[in-house]
Amino acid sequence: MRTIITGTGHFVPPRIVTNQDLEKRMNTSDEWIQQRSGIKTRHHVDGGVGSADLGYEAAVRAIANAGISASDIDFIIAATISPDYYFPGNGVLIQAKLGLPGIGALDVRNQCTGFIYALSVADQYIRTGTYRKILVVASEVQSTNLDYSDDGRDLAVLFGDGAAAVICEPHDGEDGRGILSTHLFADGRFVEELWMQIPSPKNNPVFSHEMLDRKLQYPKMDGKKVFMNACERMPEAVLTGLVHNGLTIEDVALLIPHQANDRISQMVAKKLQIPLEKVVRNIDRYGNTTAASIPIALDEALAEGRLKRNDILVLTAFGSGFTWGSAVLRW
């Protein structure tokens, strides 16, 4: 018994923010952003729209794409670093929007690696026969909590809002299709290299004017350290997955790396010696949508006909934590 993805869908808020738009808000340039990251545009929500709203829209599309009804879903796994509320998590919010009272809803918080962690959890539940139709949904609204002054320009230009979802179901065919493996990694020694410090119950109150003045509510990153580690850990995770399945890089039809920076994706491709035509790269239009970036790219790659039945698909991500991982699938 394996887990197959039977439906995909994505949704991004309609408002497109260009590099030129950001030039008006901080000391940056289209040239700098494109050269350093490959990003041209990203999508931002308008007021009052949260990541659960985007996740709901993506879920509706994935459910339709799978040819099932929302009422067929028996479990929800929601990945995000930008939940609507501190608690409860997005899982129950999306469950309520879909009108599915009673079914379990689990929240996964593994930052840019969130989708791979969530997919791995879904895979375990499907293979053990616990659930038969799991909605895995990753959704992010980053734009409302970025520092658009020069202090935060490294991150403010990188992140975008968006969501994507997949439906996971059991498959016991002889064809060997499905998730072949997932490998999950983390190294908590690097927590402070990319994090958001407040609100935190370690503080009483969880944040103060003084903390807001120090801008601790915004994500902070040591860009170079994150960049270097992403370029090392993602190829390692891909190779671990391939070796585990007795596959080589030549067997891979499509690689979807987390869209953190196009220079990182190119470096990962170079290290793995995989041709760039086999690597999905859509960061130019979306920026870094954290947990949503891989499933958005997957949904687009499928729409573009870049994956055929039985192709080997590899997903890999790296992000805050540090966390990283890979998933190998026979499509």
With CB under 6 A as the contact rule, the residue among 6, 18, 21, 32 that binds ligand UT7 is 32
- Using the rule CB under 6 A, give the single segment among 141-149, 198-206, 254-262, 304-312 that binds ligand UT7: 254-262
Of 18, 30, 223, 249, the one binding ligand UT7 by CB under 6 A: 223
Query: What residues act catalytically?
Result: 112, 258, 288
Work out how close the CB of 211 gets to ligand UT7 at its nearest, in angstroms, rounded to a whole number: 23
Q: Where are the alpha helices (DSSP H) in 153-261?
A: 153-156, 209-213, 223-244
Instruction: Determine the size of the site formed for ligand UT7 (CB under 6 A).
Output: 21
Q: Is 20 within 8 Å of 30 (Cβ atoms)?
A: yes
Q: To the nearest whole angstrom, how small is the minimum distance from the Cβ of residue 28 to ligand UT7?
A: 3
Q: 4, 54, 98, 112: which one contacts ligand UT7 (CB under 6 A)? A: 112
Nearest residue relative to ligand UT7 (C-beta): 223
Contact between 81 and 291 under an 8 Å Cβ cutoff? The reply is yes
Q: According to CB under 6 A, which residues from 184 to 213 bind ligand UT7?
A: 194
Rule CB under 6 A: choose which of 28, 120, 142, 143 binds ligand UT7. 28
Check residue 224 for interaction with ligand UT7 (CB under 6 A).
yes
**Closest CB to ligand UT7 among 190 and 207?**
190
260 binds ligand UT7 (CB under 6 A): yes
Q: 139 in helix, strand or coil? A: strand
CA distance 105 to 180: 24
230 is a contact residue toward ligand UT7 (CB under 6 A): yes
Minimum gap (Å) between residue 228 Cβ and ligand UT7: 9
Closest among 293, 56, 301, 74 to 168, alpha carbons compared: 74
| Stated length of the chain | 331
Q: Which is nearer to ligand UT7, 3 or 37 (CB)?
A: 37
Tell me how far apart the alpha carbons of residues 262 and 36 are, in angstroms, rounded to a whole number: 8
Q: Is 319 in the site for ligand UT7 (CB under 6 A)?
A: yes
Residue 38 Cβ, how far from ligand UT7 at the closest point, in Å?
10
Which residue lies nearer to ligand UT7 by CB, 104 or 223?
223
d(CA 231, CA 238): 12
Residue ranges of alpha helices (H) inside the chain are 19-23, 30-37, 51-66, 90-98, 114-127, 153-156, 209-213, 223-244, 262-272, 283-286, 293-303
Among 125, 218, 227, 324, binds ligand UT7 (CB under 6 A): 227
Question: What tokens were used for 93?
Answer: 């919010």
Min CB(221)–ligand UT7 separation in Å: 6
By CB under 6 A, tell whether 154 contacts ligand UT7: yes
**Rounded to an integer, what distance in angstroms lies between the CA atom of residue 241 and that of residue 234?**
11
Output 241-248 pairs: Cβ under 8 A, ≥24 positions apart. 241/180, 241/181, 241/182, 241/183, 241/314, 241/316, 241/326, 241/327, 241/328, 242/314, 242/328, 244/180, 244/181, 244/183, 244/328, 245/180, 245/181, 245/328, 247/312, 247/328
Q: Which residues pair with 166 in a beta bridge?
A: 8, 136
The yes or no reply on residue 37 touching ligand UT7 (CB under 6 A) is yes
220 touches ligand UT7 by CB under 6 A = no
Contacts to ligand UT7 from residues 44-63, by CB under 6 A: none
Nearer of residues 157 and 274 to ligand UT7, judged by Cβ: 157
* List of residues 6+ apart from 32 with CB closer than 8 A: none
List residues near ligand UT7 by CB under 6 A.
Answer: 28, 32-33, 36-37, 112, 153-154, 157, 194, 223-224, 226-227, 230, 258, 260-261, 264, 288, 319
